[in-house]
Amino acid sequence: MEKIRWGVISTARIGENRVIPAIQASDNGTVTAVASRSLEKAQAFAARMGIPTAYGAYEALLADPNVDAIYNPLPNSEHAAWSIAAAEAGKPTLCEKPLAKNAAEAQTMVDAFAARGLLFAEAFMYRFHPQHATARRIIADGGIGAIQIMSASFTFAVRSESDIRLQAELAGGALMDVGCYCVNAMRLIVGEEPANGSAVARFGASGVDEAIAGTLIFPSGVVGHFDAGVRAYRLHTYEVRGTEGRIQLDAAFVPHGLTTIVRHWRGDNYVEYSHPPVDQYRLMVEDFADALLNRRPPAYPPSDAVANMRVLDQLIASARTHGG
Ligand SMILES: NC(=O)c1ccc[n+]([C@@H]2O[C@H](COP(=O)([O-])OP(=O)(O)OC[C@H]3O[C@@H](n4cnc5c(N)ncnc54)[C@H](OP(=O)(O)O)[C@@H]3O)[C@@H](O)[C@H]2O)c1
């Protein structure tokens, strides 16, 4: 099978731990080059990860004719500039979540790729896990009746005070880092754009929200609520309650190596749908590469990322208004 040759912008941990191994394990991709702001760092990283080419500047990676597609795992504040630079260099790009600092910036990115007819997608890998298709099928089959309420949580504790998630100038914060999953999952499962949203947050010394709780109201009347945090013990789950039943996912977003269970209650019945461990990063990069090879759109259009950012914009503005 033909393979897409990926270039990776930066030596980010998510690349090292998840996405580069996923590309290397994929059926339709290889990692051909990596760039860092430091050539020394790029060379050490390339040697460690088995990547043939190392560059000491991101521009050099974008100019490499042997690179077919870019994976951009820069800090959130840098997503736009370097994704747009990739578009200008004619490179299809998979950019980390959240796509940008705000919806207007995200739209500029989407436009830059659309204008050149280049593939562009947000690396929201959780969507590729089959447990969400199971949840959606149960709901579509009437398994919980009409959705009334959906809740989601994603929290974990950062290990270092220098983490990009605690830096305001890098567009960190709990909403940007993990709240974005809760909002995305609620939009995905409810299948609507929220009509309104509000939030309260506790802001840390660096100015980013370290814990946030938000509410959403959808046009059909579904009420959504979520919490997200970067200093709280780990939890990543969602629950959907309908008129007749409910479903719950215990490991909704980062179930690395775990068998996951979709729990389904309806009336007095309870059923568990078990899913063996899968590499959701691999499914994501294989979808992107397949879309590129077969000239089809990605599974999730980048316009979804703009819509998600629009909700995040409203929520963080609300949290700042309400203080904390
Ligand atoms: N989908 C997921 O599961 C998932 C999980 C974790 C993170 N993410 C996303 O991936 C992105 C990176 O997260 P991460 O935790 O992997 O970050 P990280 O380890 O801190 O890496 C970010 C990289 O960006 C480069 N960089 C460029 N300008 C920088 C600056 N001003 N400050 C710091 N680094 C800078 C650095 O690489 P060089 O020094 O080599 O240039 C650095 O290694 C974020 O957008 C995050 O939201 C996604």
Give residue-wise pLDDT tens across range 9-65.
999 999 999 999 999 999 999 999 999 999 999 999 999 999 999 999 999 999 999
> Ligand 1 pocket: which of 8, 9, 10 to mutate (most atoms <8 Å of CB)?
10
Residue 52 has a pLDDT of 98
Residue 93 has a pLDDT of 99
Band the pLDDT of 1: cuts 50, 70, 90: low
- Taking the centre of ligand 1 as the mean of its atom positions, its distance from the CA of residue 11, in whole angstroms, is 8
- Taking the centre of ligand 1 as the mean of its atom positions, its distance from the CA of residue 73, in whole angstroms, is 5
Residue 115 has a pLDDT of 98
Does 204 score more than 70 pLDDT? Answer: yes
What are the boundaries of each domain within the chain? 4-123, 128-278
Span 199-219, average pLDDT: 97
Phi and psi angles of residue 288, each rounded to the nearest 5 degrees, phi first: -65, -50
Q: How far apart are CA 194 and CA 201, in angstroms?
A: 20
**41 is annotated as an active-site residue:** no
Of 98, 297, 298, 78, residue with least CA distance to 183: 98
For residue 53, the tally of other CB atoms under 10 A from its CB is 19
CATH superfamily label, 4-123:
NAD(P)-binding Rossmann-like Domain (3.40.50.720)
Residue 324 has a pLDDT of 57
Whether domain 128-278 has CATH 3.30.360.10: the reply is yes
Query: Which of ligand 1's atoms lies nearest the C-alpha of 169?
Result: 31
Instruction: Give residue for tokens 């959130």.
Output: 76
Band the pLDDT of 322: cuts 50, 70, 90: confident
Residue 134 Cβ < 6 Å to ligand 1: no
Tokens of 179: 């709240």
Residue 323 has a pLDDT of 62
**Among the options 3, 41, 91, 97, which is catalytic?**
97
Residue 10 Cβ < 6 Å to ligand 1: yes
pLDDT, tens digit (0-9, with 9 covering 90-100), for 118-171: 999 999 999 999 999 999 999 999 999 999 999 999 999 999 999 999 999 999
Residue 184 Cβ < 6 Å to ligand 1: no
Does 308 score more than 70 pLDDT? Answer: yes
Tokens of 150: 């959906």
> Ligand 1 pocket: which of 74, 97, 127 to mutate (most atoms <8 Å of CB)?
74
**Atom 21 of ligand 1, residue of closest alpha carbon:** 12
* Ramachandran assignment for 207, one of left (phi > 0), alpha (psi -120 to 50 degrees), beta (any other): left
pLDDT, tens digit (0-9, with 9 covering 90-100), for 159-203: 999 999 999 999 999 999 999 999 999 999 999 999 999 999 999
**Atom 9 of ligand 1, residue of closest alpha carbon:** 96
Residue 158 Cβ < 6 Å to ligand 1: no
Does 246 score more than 60 pLDDT? Answer: yes
Q: What is the mean pLDDT of the chain?
A: 97
Q: How far apart are CA 121 and CA 132, in angstroms?
A: 19
Residue 144 Cβ < 6 Å to ligand 1: no
Instruction: Give residue for tokens 């709780």.
Output: 213
How far is CA 308 from each of CA 78, 111, 198, 262, 319, rounded to the nearest angstrom?
18, 16, 14, 24, 17
**Atom 36 of ligand 1, residue of closest alpha carbon:** 10
pLDDT, tens digit (0-9, with 9 covering 90-100), for 71-104: 999 999 999 999 999 999 999 999 999 999 999 9
- Amino acid making up residue 242: G
Q: How far apart are CA 86 and CA 9, in angstroms?
A: 10
Residue 9 has a pLDDT of 98
Residue 256 Cβ < 6 Å to ligand 1: no
Band the pLDDT of 214: cuts 50, 70, 90: very high
SS3 of the chain? CCCEEEEEECCCHHHHHHHHHHHHHCCCEEEEEEECCCHHHHHHHHHHHCCCEEECCHHHHHCCCCCCEEEECCCHHHHHHHHHHHHHCCCCEEECCCCCCCHHHHHHHHHHHHHCCCCEEECCHHHHCHHHHHHHHHHHCCCCCCEEEEEEEEEEECCCCCCHHHCHHHCCCHHHHHHHHHHHHHHHHHCCCCCEEEEEEEECCCCCEEEEEEEEECCCCCEEEEEEECEEEEEEEEEEEECCEEEEECECCCCCCCCEEEEEEECCEEEEEEECCCCHHHHHHHHHHHHHHCCCCCCCCCHHHHHHHHHHHHHHHHHHHHCC
- Taking the centre of ligand 1 as the mean of its atom positions, its distance from the CA of residue 280, in whole angstroms, is 19
- Taking the centre of ligand 1 as the mean of its atom positions, its distance from the CA of residue 74, in whole angstroms, is 4
Residue 95 Cβ < 6 Å to ligand 1: no
